[in-house]
């Protein structure tokens, strides 16, 4: 499979929208999810490690999962993540990890996954009892967020009720939504939710 983010990785961390969005999601996770230094965390769709960077100082270890080698190369080059974050270039939809986590976080990766229900089931299987997920993505939008024909985009955001139903159907409980950020586009605004739930 081609690395869709190979070109984007080069200047991803210099993109102002990406920086603002990652900061807002990172701060929302810190606000709504209790972290401690014994926690082992999966960062799904970790990219260049912008979300991992927010939570790494407060937890034991992060396993950063992504299918883009170029993005993970940027992540492992960051000295502040050394010793805390392990990069794994793997599609856990096809090849799950042999470990369980206290927390799974993900930022703006869900709309790149075609089978959302399968992903939530896989998340559930990768979690210890009592563990939490904190997932951020776009609220339902009209398809204008990404340029037309963008490869690897399967959803134009999500209805919050739809995500809640999928999570509860996968075994999650205590599903809570927050608005983490609003992306100000040229003509439209795109709210971004953070959903937190427990196993």
pLDDT at 14 (0 to 100): 55
Q: Where are the alpha helices (DSSP H) in 56-115?
A: 69-76
Q: What is the pLDDT of residues 73-117, one digit of tens each?
A: 999 999 999 889 999 999 999 999 999 999 999 999 998 888 999
User: Distance of alpha carbon 120 from its chain centroid, rounded?
Assistant: 12
Averaged confidence pLDDT in the chain: 89
Residue with tokens 């960077």: 53
Q: CB of 34 within 8 A of CB of 56? A: no
- The per-residue pLDDT for 39 is 97
Look at residues 49, 181, 42 and name the one whose alpha carbon lies nearest to residue 98: 42
**8-198 fold:** Rossmann fold (3.40.50)
- Residue with the bigger pLDDT between 15 and 12: it is 15
Q: Per-residue pLDDT tens for 38-73?
A: 999 999 999 999 999 999 999 999 999 999 898 899
- Looking at the predicted structure, is the pLDDT value of residue 187 above 90? no
| pLDDT classification of 146: cutoffs 50, 70, 90 | confident
């Amino acid at each position: 499979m081609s690395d869709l983010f190979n070109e984007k990785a080069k200047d991803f961390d210099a993109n102002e929208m990406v920086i603002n969005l990652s900061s807002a999601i990172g701060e929302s996770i810190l606000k709504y999810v209790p972290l401690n230094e014994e926690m082992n965390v999966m960062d799904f769709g970790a990219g260049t490690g912008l979300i991992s960077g927010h939570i790494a100082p407060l937890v034991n270890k992060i396993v950063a999962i992504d299918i883009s080698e170029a993005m993970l190369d940027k992540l492992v080059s960051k000295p502040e993540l050394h010793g805390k974050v392990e990069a794994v270039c793997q599609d856990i939809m096809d090849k799950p990890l042999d470990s369980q986590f206290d927390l799974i976080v993900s930022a703006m990766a869900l709309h790149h996954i075609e089978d959302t229900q399968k992903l939530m089931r896989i998340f559930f299987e990768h979690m210890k009892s009592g563990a939490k997920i904190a997932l951020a993505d776009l609220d339902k939008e009209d398809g204008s967020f990404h340029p037309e024909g963008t490869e690897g985009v399967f959803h134009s955001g999500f209805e919050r009720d739809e995500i809640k139903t999928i999570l509860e159907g996968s075994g999650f409980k205590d599903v809570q939504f927050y608005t983490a950020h609003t992306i100000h586009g040229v003509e439209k605004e795109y709210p971004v939710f953070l959903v937190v739930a427990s196993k």
